[in-house]
């Protein structure tokens, strides 16, 4: 499996919450754990409460970092640390740098339904049931259009895989 395939499987099957970093009005990064769904083209789909402060942050500055971190891969080695030997292996990391784009209501409903239905089918039923009207009134879809992708810990050594998406 390539590092890209391993990273995609890690995010979709294992990682859980992402850390999403936006920029506040004073120019400082603000990070929070939240649900984020990685698409096959490395874009990230989020469905947020429309009243959340991060919506205003994205309106002012769409620059966003979405990161998933997990335990080291079972196959990784770190035989030659670059600076310090910490006696541990580096965590797996998937990091997407990009720009937030607000999605229209029909897209928000579509993404919300697909992910809500999938999670309910897995037995994750504590989130509220929402009608389309409720989704339209209270939620907002956001797509993070990827600019730069960085994968760490998905090969046999800690060498990252990084690329830019035009």
* Answer CATH for 3-164 from 1.10.10.10, 2.30.110.10, 3.40.1280.10, 3.40.1080.10: 2.30.110.10
Report yes or no: 144 and 46 within 8 Å, Cβ to Cβ: yes
Parse the chain into domains and list their residue ranges.
3-164
> What is the pLDDT at residue 55?
95
- Residue 104: partners with Cβ closer than 8 Å, 6 or more residues away: 141
> What is the pLDDT at residue 130?
96
Q: Which residue has the higher pLDDT, 160 or 81?
A: 160
Report yes or no: 15 and 68 within 8 Å, Cβ to Cβ: yes
Bridge-partner residues for 66, per DSSP?
A: 20, 96
pLDDT for residue 60 is more than 80:
yes
pLDDT for residue 111 is more than 90:
yes
Q: Tell me the three-class secondary structure of 105-148, residue by residue.
A: HHHHHHHHHHHHHHHHHCCCCCCCCCCHHHHHHHEEEEEEEEEE
- The pLDDT of 50-72, averaged and rounded, is 94
Give residue-wise pLDDT tens across range 81-92: 777 877 777 789
Bridge-partner residues for 19, per DSSP?
A: 33, 67
- The pLDDT of 15-27, averaged and rounded, is 96
| Rounded-to-integer distance, Cα 17 and Cα 66, Å | 10
- The pLDDT of 14-40, averaged and rounded, is 96
Predicted model pTM: 0.91
Mean pLDDT score of the chain: 92
DSSP letter, residue 90? P
């Amino acid at each position: 499996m390539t590092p890209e395939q391993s990273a995609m499987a890690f995010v979709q099957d294992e990682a859980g919450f992402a850390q999403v970093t936006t920029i506040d009005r004073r120019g400082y990064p603000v990070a929070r754990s939240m649900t984020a769904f990685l698409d096959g083209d490395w874009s990230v789909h989020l469905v947020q409460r429309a009243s959340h402060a991060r919506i205003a942050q994205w309106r002012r500055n769409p620059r966003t970092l979405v990161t998933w971190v997990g335990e080291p891969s079972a196959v990784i080695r770190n035989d030659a640390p670059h600076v310090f030997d910490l006696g541990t292996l580096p965590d797996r990391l998937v990091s997407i740098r990009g720009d937030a784009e607000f999605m229209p209501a029909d897209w928000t409903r579509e993404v919300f339904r697909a992910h809500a239905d999938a999670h309910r089918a897995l037995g994750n039923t504590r989130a509220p049931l929402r009608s389309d009207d409720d989704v339209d009134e209270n939620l907002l879809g956001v797509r993070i259009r990827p600019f730069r992708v960085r994968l760490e810990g998905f090969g046999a050594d800690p060498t990252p895989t990084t690329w830019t998406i035009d």
